[in-house]
Structures are given as C-alpha cells and as structure tokens.
C-alpha cells in the first residue's frame, strides 16, 4: 500500500479553522467551518489493526461532553499536499546520509491521486528547498543532496513555516507533514503557546521520524520544565499578586486554580498544560500525538525505512470520525475517543483542536 496515497484517508479540508493567508506564519485564525475531523487508529494489545467498526462503536467527547460522530468514507480520492521537513542542523547533520536512498520509497509513497510535494530543510532557520511540485523525483533528489547546516534544531519554527507553505496550496488539497528531526526543539523563536495553538487549528496530521537529541540538549530542555508562562496579570494563574501561601510553589497554585474551573474548562486547561510541556520535553513525539499522526525513532537508514513502511501499513486502516461541536467555545478543546463495547482495544487519535474567538 502506498504511503502518501494512504495519507489521504486521514486528512480533510473541512477543518474547524483555517489561517489567514496574508500572514501564514502566525497562528491567528478565522472560523470557516465547525466540522472537526478526528483520525482514529484502533488496534489490539498486540498492535494488530481492527476492521469493520461502525460509528456507533466509538464514544467521542469534546471537553468531556459526548458528541454525535459520523464515520467518514471515500475521502482518499481528493488531491494531497505533503511537506517533507528535514533537520540539517545540529544532530541532523549526522543523519543526512540516511536520506540518500529514499528515492524509490518516495516514488512509491505517491499514489494515483493528484498531489504536490515540497521539501523544507531547517537548522536554526527553515528554508524551502523544493517548492510544491507534482514531480516526486524533485523531492527525492533534494533529500539525497542536503548539506549540513548550523548547530540549530528549530523544529517548531520549521513546522510553523511548513504549515504556512501548506496553506498557500489550493483549498481542495488535503495536507500532511512528514518530519525528520531530533526529538527536542533547540532554538525556535516560536513560543510554545503559539505552537500549540498553530498545530491545533488545523486538521493536518504530522508524522514524525526522530533520532535522539544530544545529551546536552536533553539536559538543557529538562532544566526548563519547571518554568511556566504566567497567566493574565493579577489572575488566578498569575505569578504576581498571588496569595503568600503559594510563594515558591507555582505548580500548586496552578492546580488549585484548575480545581476552581467548571469541568469542561478544567479538562481543556489540563490538556493545554500537558500538551505545552510535551512540546518542550519531547517535541517530535508530541507533534505527532497531538495531531493524530504517528511517531517512530530511528538511528540509521534501515530503521527509517522500516518506520516509513510501518506507517504506510497502518494509515490505510485509520477510521476518520467527524462531528460538529455542540459547544464551539473559543480556546483549546480536549478530544477523547473510546470504544463503547470493546474496552480491551487500543485507540490512537487526535488529542485536541483550537477554536479562535471571532472578532465582531
């Protein structure tokens, strides 16, 4: 089964929100449609895909509230735009040879649907190497001839850039990102809050293939986990003006603030905090998990090819649920998918989506 044609099964342009084309690199969005697409992979405990499920086999909740979900069919014939995002800086410079023999795989990945593919390389800054083209050999040739960059590994900046490039494609195209990078972001200027908002306001899934970051990078990022962006000034989450009992215990203050929220807001807030810390601690894996994609480690060309093949085998077996939110309130929404009568099965699904406040 061909990988990129299979990607068509889990992408749709009937998204909850889209970015303004005039400023594609920023996550400011306008509501276009309230249809949310949720790719779901269902497997046994041994990883075998489960077939033949119906819409009423799933229980889908939005901020804890059950939703009426529809099972999408026949969405794999629509055109597809894919951005391949490759780290050439930092530890990525040592993996450039892993991409030199992907030509046959890249060619096989593309099915019979109309398609466009681009290649974006990044170190401390992203750069468009191959603009979107229907010629897959252009992407293959670019991957085989990448040059080492600087010491940066600005993953979030690169993904932000890729989303901006994808949004310039015709609206009828489904969109995907395939990311080859180390595990942890190093040097991005994109703020974590903005990155989370950006990847949550689109139905584009991200498929991450990552090699380990250097030990020094892991230690550096781990040291930042205790820091949190403060909430609005003098608000419950603010570091300034807090009760004296919270002195030096901001995490306790956050938990107490969350406990005061109504259940839907509490769930959305917890999801936001967990997701943001995930982007900081393990960027590549979190990007895949949050968007409903997949994540694989690799340390050489053989493992990379194996991961690509595994993904290509899994994606044709995704279910795609859609629903119109009963409460499309602005902000982050926490998604959860469970099986109604088959609790022993394992589900992998998109974790959240974002609704921007509509300006009058």
Q: Which of 156-160, 268-272, 347-351 has the lowest mean pLDDT?
A: 268-272
pLDDT of residue 78: 73
Which region, left, alpha or beta, applies to residue 74 given φ > 0 means left and ψ of -120 to 50 means alpha?
Answer: left
For residues 103-108, give the mean pLDDT: 68
Q: How confident is the model at residue 242 (pLDDT cuts 50, 70, 90)?
A: low
| % of the chain residues with pLDDT over 90 | 40
For residues 324-345, give the mean pLDDT: 89
Query: How confident is the model over 296-333, as pLDDT tens digits?
Result: 999 999 999 998 888 877 777 888 899 999 888 888 89
Q: Residue 71: enclosing H or E segment and its boundaries?
A: strand 70-71
Sign of CA dihedral 91, 93, 94, 98: positive
What does DSSP say about strands 115-122 and 80-87: parallel, antiparallel, or unpaired?
parallel
Q: Exposed (0-12), middle (13-18) or buried (19+): which is 86, by Cβ within 10 Å?
A: buried
Rounded distance between C-alpha atoms, residue 126 and residue 140, angstroms: 19
pLDDT of residue 109: 60
Give the N- to C-terminal CA distance of the chain in Å, as an integer: 47
Q: How confident is the model at residue 280 (pLDDT cuts 50, 70, 90)?
A: confident
Task: Name the token pair of 158.
Answer: 């690169």
For the chain, the structural domain boundaries read 1-223+282-360
Q: In whole numbers, what is the pLDDT of the chain averaged over residues?
A: 79
Rounded distance between C-alpha atoms, residue 78 and residue 92, angstroms: 33
Question: How many CB atoms within 10 Å of residue 79?
Answer: 16
Topology (CATH level 3) of domain 1-223+282-360: Rossmann fold (3.40.50)
Under DSSP, is residue 158 helix (H, G, I), strand (E, B) or coil?
A: helix
**Residue bearing the bigger pLDDT, 38 or 233:** 38
Residue 231 has pLDDT above 60, yes or no: no
Residue 182 has pLDDT above 90, yes or no: yes
């Amino acid at each position: 089964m061909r990988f990129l044609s299979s990607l068509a099964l889990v992408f749709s342009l009937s998204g909850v929100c889209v970015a303004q084309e005039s400023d594609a690199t920023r996550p400011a969005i306008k509501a276009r449609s309230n249809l949310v697409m949720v790719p779901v992979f269902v497997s046994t405990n041994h990883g075998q895909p489960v077939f033949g499920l119906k819409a009423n086999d799933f229980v889908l909740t939005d901020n804890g509230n059950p939703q009426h979900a529809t099972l999408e069919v026949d969405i794999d014939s629509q055109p597809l735009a894919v951005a391949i995002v490759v780290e050439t800086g930092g530890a990525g410079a040592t993996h450039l040879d892993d991409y030199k023999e992907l030509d046959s795989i890249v060619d096989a990945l593309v099915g019979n649907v109309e398609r466009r593919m681009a290649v974006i390389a990044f170190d401390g800054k992203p750069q468009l190497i191959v603009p979107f083209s229907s010629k897959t050999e252009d992407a293959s040739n670019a991957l085989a001839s990448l040059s080492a960059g600087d010491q940066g590994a600005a993953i979030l900046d690169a993904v932000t850039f890729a989303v901006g490039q994808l949004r310039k494609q015709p609206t009828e195209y489904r969109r995907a990102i395939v990311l080859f990078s180390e595990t942890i972001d190093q040097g991005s200027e994109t703020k974590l809050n903005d990155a989370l908002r950006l990847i949550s306001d689109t139905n584009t899934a991200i498929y991450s293939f990552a090699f380990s970051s250097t030990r020094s990078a892991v230690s550096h990022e781990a040291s930042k986990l205790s820091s949190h962006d403060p909430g609005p000034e003098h608000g419950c989450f603010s570091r300034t003006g807090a009760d004296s009992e919270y002195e030096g215990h901001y995490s306790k203050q956050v938990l107490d603030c969350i406990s005061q929220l109504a259940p839907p807001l509490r769930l959305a807030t917890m999801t936001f905090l967990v997701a943001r810390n995930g982007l900081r601690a393990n960027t590549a894996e979190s990007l895949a998990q949050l968007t409903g994609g997949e994540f694989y480690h690799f340390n050489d060309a053989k493992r990379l090819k194996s991961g690509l093949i595994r993904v290509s085998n899994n994606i044709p077996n995704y279910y795609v649920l859609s629903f119109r939110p009963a409460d499309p309130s602005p902000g982050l929404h926490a998604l959860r998918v469970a099986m109604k009568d088959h609790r022993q099965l394992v589900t992998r699904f998109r974790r959240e989506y974002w609704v921007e406040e509509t300006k009058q």
